[in-house]
Amino acid sequence: MQEKIEGLLAAAKEEIAALSSSRELAECKVKYLGKTGLVTALLKQMKDIPPEKRSEFGKSVNALKEQVSALFEEREKAIRKEEMEKSFEREAVDVTLDGKAVKFGNLHPLNIVRNLIIDVFVGMGFEIFEGPEIESDYYCFQALNIPKDHPARDMQDTFYVSDNIVLRTHTSPGQVRVMEKKKPPIKVLSPGRVYRADDDASHSPMFHQIEGLVVDKGITLCDLKGLLDEFVQIIFDKDTKTRLRPSYFPFTEPSVEVDVTCSECHGAGCRLCKGTGWIEILGAGVVNKKVLENCGIDSDVYSGLAFGLGIERTTMIKYGIPDIRTLFENNVKFLRQFGRNDR
Ligand code: PHE
């Protein structure tokens, strides 16, 4: 009997040492210590043992049971530790890894600049008015002192929808629409799309303008100069200067073309400004008395200033973009440069 007990202990030792998972261990424990297990079976043999040997047999089997239990306990601890270490490895998170970058969308540069311009003038107290893109000949030309057959019509190559309906060639009709409805003082900004039959590196058949109009008592060219100086210093650099050159528009008298010091070379002369140090940015002037009268505003009491600038042109100057067409190609690589995240 003693041999049997020792044999069982040796077998258990060997088997327990080879266990490698808690599932295997649980199965093996049942095999030895379960209700029908090998050690339990030994105890059940008690009744076949002669009474005088029963006590000794009982002690041996109990000792075996304790030893086997101790072996299981020890192995269980070791297996649990191994399994925990493995799960730590498997589930580990490397906190030093980079996060996943989120790609931002961004506004088109034309919208960035348009919003910026609107912001500046709204800050100066201007209201926003948007007129129609399909416009009558009257608002686009006649009311602005450009009668039919006037040579100034050639200044703007017009898309005609019919004899009297055009795609607006400028945002100036907005001036007329506002002055017809509103009494001075007027301070209005009118942004929108305009159309001209023109297409090359610096002209697009569709482009964007922003019209500004101020009408009040005693408005002069000085007010225009002050307004524009402030404006260009916010849009470009603080040291940007303006220069007014005499020009001609039928709807302003006097009329000027406004240049700014080049955003690239700050006036020294470079390729962008063709060596002059100056870049033309907009047309402007004192509102022609005839236009005020056409809109029912007494030109002896009130005067006005008006300016019209191209958003494409302003964007190209601001960012040093050489070809207007890149603004319409929707090349994502180009557009991303104007966002927060250009990866
Ligand atoms: N409408 C003119 C143009 O498109 C610009 C302009 C606006 C000039 C207002 C003077 C005053 O060229």
- pTM (two decimals): 0.72
To which CATH superfamily is domain 109-335 assigned?
A: Bira Bifunctional Protein; Domain 2 (3.30.930.10)
Q: How many angstroms is it from 279 CA to the middle of ligand 1?
A: 16
Nearest CA to ligand 1 atom 10: 284
Provide the pLDDT for residue 341.
58
210 pocket-lining for ligand 1 (C-beta < 6 Å): no
313 pocket-lining for ligand 1 (C-beta < 6 Å): no
Report pLDDT digits (tens) over 59-108.
888 888 999 999 999 999 999 999 999 999 999 888 888 888 887 889 99
Provide the pLDDT for residue 239.
92
| Residues 144 and 175 sit within 8 Å (Cβ to Cβ) | yes
What atom of ligand 1 comes closest to residue 308's alpha carbon? 7
Best residue for ligand 1 mutational test, from 170, 196, 214, 247 (most atoms within 8 Å of Cβ): 170
In the three-class reduction of DSSP (H, G, I as helix; E, B as strand; rest coil), residue 47 is classed as helix
Q: What is the largest CA-CA distance in the chain?
A: 140
The residues pairing with 247 across neighbouring beta strands, listed in sequence order, are: 255
Q: In angstroms, what CA-CA distances link 319 with 26, 112, 113, 165?
A: 73, 11, 10, 36
For CA atoms 81, 84, 89, 90, give the dihedral sign: positive
307 pocket-lining for ligand 1 (C-beta < 6 Å): yes
- Residue 32 tokens read as 């030895």
Q: CA-to-CA distance for 178 and 181, rounded, in angstroms? A: 5
- Residue 322 tokens read as 């050489």
Q: Can you list the residues of the chain whose pLDDT is less than 70?
A: 341-343
Q: CA-to-CA distance for 140 and 175, rounded, in angstroms? A: 10
Provide the pLDDT for residue 199.
86
Residues with Cβ within 8 Å of residue 237, at least 6 apart in sequence: 263, 266
Provide the pLDDT for residue 343.
47
